């Protein structure tokens, strides 16, 4: 079916894309305000766009016309931590998405312990199997509806159990048991089921064609 997205309003345009561009990884963003009080919230307009230099982007919308707390904190401090969400923390992640007032520490409300980061002020979530310490590089405004943050990853923490060979950075992602976000409202997927397929060069592809 054809959809002329130019004719859709903000809500429908979001719905169409958020239901078709799936699954999306979830950046569980921890920031600090001026006084050092942490804030946490999930963001699924997220991915990495360069491995070297290590660059990630996150899309943050507005809440009642105002920047969300995560963006307000990142704009001021230029630092944050992206934690990835394992399936056993789904409920806790969901709790941190509640639009509490700015003074509320969602990590405390969700009962999540944190541990110090290495290079940035915001802490990381102790039970998250992947934490990326990030520094803001660029803010790209998206019309009047939000911003895209471009950031460098400055430190990476992976839970020991998922590291197969540290020197070669060889991980076993099945041990991370991460969640992906599906369509709204409220659908998620596990990342436990996978299959392997090698990317081919021209010669390999020709050989495969000949072999039938
Ligand atoms: C799984 C999930 C993914 C989300 N992704 C985004 C996103 O990519 N961009 C966004 O603006 N809001 C997103 N939200 C909504 C924010 O998490 C929500 O507005 C939150 O209250 C923002 O908190 P903050 O003001 O503390 O930053 C998402 C919510 C959930 C549950």
- Three-state DSSP state, 131: strand
Write out pLDDT tens, residues 77-92.
999 999 999 999 999 9
Question: What is the C-alpha radius of gyration for the chain, rounded to an integer number of angstroms?
Answer: 19
**The total number of residues written for the chain in this structure:** 212
Quote the pLDDT of residue 184: 84
Domain boundaries, position 29: 5-211
Q: State how many domains the chain has.
A: 1
179-209 confidence digits (pLDDT tens): 999 998 899 999 999 999 999 999 999 999 9
Q: What is the pLDDT of residue 189?
A: 98
Measured CA to CA, the distance from residue 190 to residue 179 in angstroms comes to 5
CB of 67 sitting under 6 A from ligand 1: no
Q: Cβ neighbours of residue 158 under 8 Å, at least 6 residues apart?
A: 129, 130, 171, 176
The reply to whether ligand 1 has any atom less than 6 angstroms from the CB of 103 is no
The verdict on the CB of residue 180 being under 6 Å from ligand 1 is no
Distance CA 67, CA 145 (A): 10
pTM of the model: 0.96
Instruction: Please identify, by atom number, the ligand 1 atom nearest to the C-alpha of residue 94.
Output: 31
CATH of the domain at 165: 2.30.110.10
Closest by CA position to 128, among listed 179, 169, 79, 73: 179
Low-confidence stretches of the chain (pLDDT beneath 70):
none
Q: Name the E strands within 12-167.
A: 24-25, 27-32, 38-43, 46-50, 55-63, 66-67, 79-84, 114-115, 124-125, 130-142, 146-158, 163-165
What pLDDT does 130 receive?
98
Pocket of ligand 1 contains residue 102 by CB under 6 Å: no
Q: Taking all residues of the chain, what is their mean pLDDT, rounded to a whole number?
A: 96
Instruction: Determine whether the shortest distance from the Cβ of 188 to ligand 1 is under 6 A.
Output: no
Residue to mutate, 14, 68, 104, ligand 1, most ligand atoms under 8 Å from C-beta: 68
Residue with tokens 């997927």: 189
With CA atoms as reference, report the closest residue to 44 among 189, 153, 168, 160.
189
Whose alpha carbon is nearest atom 23 of ligand 1? 41
Alpha-carbon distance of 202 to 36, in angstroms, equals 54
| Closest Cα to atom 10 of ligand 1 | 60
The residue nearest atom 4 of ligand 1, judged by CA position, is: 43
Helix (H) or strand (E) holding 106: helix 106-109
Six-digit token string for 56: 């990630």
Q: What's residue 78's pLDDT?
A: 98
């Amino acid at each position: 079916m054809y959809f002329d997205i130019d004719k859709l309003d903000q809500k429908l345009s979001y719905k169409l894309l958020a239901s078709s561009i799936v699954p999306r990884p979830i950046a569980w963003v921890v920031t600090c305000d001026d006084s050092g009080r942490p804030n946490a919230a999930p963001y699924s307009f997220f991915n990495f766009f360069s491995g070297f230099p290590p660059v990630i982007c996150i899309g943050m919308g507005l809440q009642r016309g105002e920047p969300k707390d995560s963006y307000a904190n990142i704009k001021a401090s230029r630092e944050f931590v992206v934690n990835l969400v394992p399936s056993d923390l789904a409920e806790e992640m969901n709790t941190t998405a509640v639009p509490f007032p700015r003074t509320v520490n969602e990590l405390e409300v969700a009962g999540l312990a944190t541990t110090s980061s290495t290079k940035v002020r915001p802490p990381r979530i102790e039970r998250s199997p992947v934490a990326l310490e990030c520094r803001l590089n660029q803010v790209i405004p998206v019309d009047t509806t939000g911003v895209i943050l471009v950031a460098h990853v400055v430190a990476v923490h992976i839970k020991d159990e998922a590291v197969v060979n540290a020197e070669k950075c060889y991980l076993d992602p099945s041990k991370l048991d991460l969640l992906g976000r599906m369509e709204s409202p409220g659908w998620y997927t596990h990342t436990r089921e996978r299959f392997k397929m090698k990317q081919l060069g021209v010669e390999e592809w020709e050989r495969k064609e000949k072999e039938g």
